Amino acid sequence: MCVTDPVVPSWVLTLACADRVGIVAAVSQFLAERGGFITDSQQYADREAGRFFMRVAFEATDERMGDTGRLRQEFANVGTRFAMDWRLTAAEEKPRMLIAVSKGSHCLADLLHRWQTGTLAVDIMGVVSNHPDMRRITEWHGIPYHELPPNGDKAAQEKALLGIFERTQSEYLILARYMQVLSEGLVEALAGRCVNIHHSFLPGFKGARPYHRAHERGVKLIGATAHFVTADLDEGPIIEQAVERVDHRATAEDMIRIGRDIEAQVLARAVSWLADRRVLQNGGKTVVFR
């Protein structure tokens, strides 16, 4: 008979506040008084902005710790003292995510595979799309597929998308090659909760057939960027980036293939870091505790 070890209650605390002396000491003392054992701690002081960021993973050593609700209630005093923007979640609590996609399957398929194999610790609440193409692969994974109103009625599409997001109580909307520009109103409604993936070239090629235009210009680096969505198109706080070198022998089709691979990998890393509560926004930038 195999006996498994009991699961030790554990949590993740993230916080951001004005930088000042005593923050780390206050957090450490709070945990020590309740029998908290810190398993991972990272902090960053942005001296230019005068901001302090911290992520602490910890577990209980005895019954003093209490449950999540009690911990939040008691830590509120520390948060108020330092005017913190903080969040405390149980380690097993997975963020709920809604994925939006158009016709490209590479990012969606990668996320679904990682989720199904247990390497992506999120709860995928559904997939929304402005096309029917990705229904089969989505439903094969047992995930609801929501086809938005036909193209041309952007207001109806966004109303339906936001309704699904709120109804499923999703925490993040992941744009896995959703080829629609979100309105300013929807961007504001999802501020800090919407993540996009797009190709990164120098110079930038926006619009249709970017890889073909990059080939025409002899681009030597192909890349991808995952970022939070803001009203400034493709200019939100960056979460992750990657590049791969190409040369004069690469065809436009080669660039498309390489670019899709990079896009899928970069988006998966960004989503994984969000799931682990490792990403904190810092104005127009991010702090990513890896």
Q: Which residues carry out catalysis? A: 234
CB 85 within 8 A of CB 283: no
Q: Which secondary-structure segment (H or E) carries 89?
A: strand 85-90
Following DSSP, what letter does each residue of 151-171 receive, concatenated? Answer: TT-HHHHHHHHHHHHHHTT-S
Per this entry, what is the length of the chain?
290
CB-CB contact of 232 with 141 (8 Å): no
Instruction: Report the interhelical angle of 252-275 vs 106-116 (nearest 10°).
Output: 40
Instruction: Mark out the alpha helices in the chain (DSSP H runs).
Output: 23-33, 68-81, 106-116, 135-140, 154-167, 184-189, 210-216, 252-275
Task: Kindly write down the DSSP assignment for every residue of 52-86, as one continuous string.
Answer: EEEEEEEEESSGGG--HHHHHHHHHHHHHHTT-EE
Q: Within a 10 A sphere around the Cβ of 90, how many other Cβ atoms?
A: 13
